[in-house]
Structure 1
Amino acid sequence: MIETDRLLLRPARLADVPAIFTFLGDPAAMRHTHVDATLAACRRRVAVHEWRRRVDGYAPWTVIAKENGRIIGWGGLYDDPFDPGWGCEVGYFFHPDAWGRGYASELVRAALREADTRHGLAEVRAFAHPDNGGSRRVLEKAGFRTVRFVPEMDRFLFSRARHGREIAA
């Protein structure tokens, strides 16, 4: 488990899926990204990422608010098993009740510390929809730079090199 000022970050459990599905299955909450159509699809997503944790050493965490012990998000480092080939990414998905409180920035900082210190990753990537200004600001504050627009995904690709390294575009 990783602890930040306001969050507890731990590997996801299948028992977490109903709480995670309240936002991953909400079309309004997920309007800028993939929405899980069913609880079973969400369970599969979480289970596949947890399998990848055993392979890669990292996968999205269940995000718990310290103040009340409630699951408010899911995110962290991952190599996307559903859209492979992009390398290590950071992603974050939160319940709408948690939006605008700085939790995404706190999660991304924790994920980048893990990428740099525990995993020694040279680069972490991220994607953000053009209409998702909040997500783009989170990434820019964390030191990501825009690499290019990926039209087939309708997303901007961002990159952040480990401190002291430069990644070519």
Structure 2
Amino acid sequence: MKLQKIMPILASSAIKTIDMKIFAETDRIIMRELLLSDSQKMFEMDSDPEVHLYLGNKPYTQLSESEENIRFIRQQYEENGIGRWAVIDKESNEFVGWGGLKFITTEINNRVHFYEVGYRFLKQHWGKGYATASAKAALKYAFEELKLSHVYAMAHGENAGSRHALQKSGLKITEQFDHEGIACDWFEISKEDWLKKQNEE
């Protein structure tokens, strides 16, 4: 099957925003660049087997893995102008996880070069609405700042919590596919549909 390339054009002003520390803010959360100082909290999150239940069941075993991951994400900031962001609770100023956008350059579901919204949170912060809040903030950034036409997402077919958060944010399941032997749902939202949802809310 032929690969589908999705190559939105970024406005120059959107690219410059990567120099800012804070990318998105809501009444509950701040989304800022990930820093090496976040590595301990990242390790606490990614060393939890329950967090990795639907992520291939390969939890981290060393702090250096989290440090390497943060360096990789910061490299994405430089190379792609975008990458996952730290999600900070405004009331407690606590790191609760990460969220935001990622520019995918490898093939997933017969597609390459597209923007994916995603998130991951410490287990003690599950069920508090952070996934939906971060996804909505990321979509706003995607369509208003990056001027994208579409945003995509994927979730393990059995991960009901993630599927619910993505759907609550406005994304719709358009197909099911196999990703590395795992049955996953594929989500999409267009700028047009996102604008309609904003008007409804």
Partner of residue 150, structure 1: 177
Q: Deviations over 1:5-57 (max 9, x none)?
A: 11111000011111111112211122111533432222222211111112222
Moved more, 18-27 or 33-42: 33-42
Corresponding pairs, count: 165
Residues 35-54 of structure 1 correspond to what in structure 2 (within 5 A)?
35-54=59-78
> How far apart are 1:164 and its partner, in Å?
5.5
TM normalised by structure 1 equals 0.88
Instruction: Output aligned runs, 1:19-38, within 5 Å.
Output: 19-34=41-56, 35-38=59-62
**CA-to-aligned-CA distance 1:125-156 (integer Å, 9 cap, x gap):** 11111111111011111221112222134221
SS at match of 1:100: coil
| Structure 1 residue aligned with 2:83 | 59
TM-score (norm 2): 0.75
Change (3 A) 1:163 1:38: farther
Whether 2:192 is the aligned partner of 1:163: answer yes
Q: Is the 8 A contact 1:50 1:59 kept in 2?
A: yes
Q: 1:149 to 1:20 in 2, by over 3 A?
A: same
* Residue of 104, 109, 114 corresponding to 2:136: 109
Structure 2 CA distance for partners of 1:95 and 1:82, relative to 1, 3 Å = farther
Q: What are the ranges of 5 or more consecutive residues in structure 2 without an aligned counterpart? A: 1-21, 195-201
- The alpha carbon displacement at 1:83 in A equals 6.6
User: Structure 1: any 5+ residue segments left out of the alignment?
Assistant: none
Q: Whose radius of gyration is greater, 1 or 2? A: 2
**Higher relative contact order (CA closer than 8 Å, sequence separation 6+):** 2
1:92 partnered with 2:119 = yes
Q: Runs in 1 of length 4+ with deviation above 6 angstroms?
A: 81-84
| RMSD (Å), alpha carbons | 2.0
